[in-house]
Amino acid sequence: HILDLGCGPGDIPVRFARALPSCRITGVDASEPMIGLAGVAVKQAGLADRITFCCERFQGVSLIEPVDAAVSNSLLHHVPNPLQFWYRLRQLVKPGSPVLVMDLLRPDSPEEAQAIVDRNAAKEPEILRRDFYRSLLAAFTEDEVAAQLAEMNLSRLIVDVVDDRHWVVSGIIH
């Protein structure tokens, strides 16, 4: 059983279900419109028997039992208190379970953030460019994420910067 926190329109759960035919996936997102899109995507993919969605903030997620793995993409920079995220993640997965969390990497300056937007979203509508820019400024640095993990006694998880705008935390929850 895999949990996707901040599942958005359901792309990651659909990919997991296609790649791992025996797994069940629960996607959680606080946005009702996103959960609606996710439901459509799962029905179109013919995977509704293995993927379920819940419109809920991650803090309120209630599972019958802890999951075997968890993923989250681009949620943490939306969370007012990131320590709550790491605390809840630990509660939701079985000990010995893998986790993968990816999010934006805050650039060193607003000018660098703008350069990233210009390089990666030049042809997008202005509203999306502005949202991307603000998300970059709201994101965490590698050191901030490492400090969060240390404070939550999750230092065994590894933080990697994977490109000019993303970091990944991966490893096993103990």
Residues 22 and 69 in one domain: yes
Residues 13 and 63 in one domain: yes
Residues 110 and 35 in one domain: no
Residues 151 and 162 in one domain: yes
Distance from first CA to last CA of the chain, Å, rounded?
Answer: 17
CB 37 within 8 A of CB 80: no
pLDDT for 60 equals 86
pLDDT along the chain (174 residues), means of 10: 97 97 96 97 97 93 92 96 96 96 98 98 97 98 98 97 98 95
Residues 7 and 89 in one domain: yes
Domains identified in the chain, total number:
2
Residues 77 and 96 in one domain: yes
With a CB cutoff of 8 Å and minimum separation 6, the contacts of 94 are 66, 67, 68, 173
pLDDT for 17 equals 97
With a CB cutoff of 8 Å and minimum separation 6, the contacts of 110 are 137
Q: Is 68 helix (H, G, I), strand (E, B) or coil?
A: coil
DSSP state of 142: H
Residues 164 and 125 in one domain: no
pLDDT for 98 equals 98
Q: Count of CB atoms within 10 A of residue 135's CB?
A: 18
Rounded CA separation 16/12 (Å) = 6
| Domain assignment of residue 128, given as a range | 106-139
Strand partners, 122: none
Residues 132 and 156 in one domain: no
At CA 73, angle to CA 40 and CA 158, rounded to 5? 150
pLDDT for 121 equals 98
Residue 123 token pair: 């042809």
Residues 21 and 95 in one domain: yes
Residues 31 and 42 in one domain: yes
pLDDT for 58 equals 87
Residue 148: which H helix or E strand, with range?
A: helix 142-151
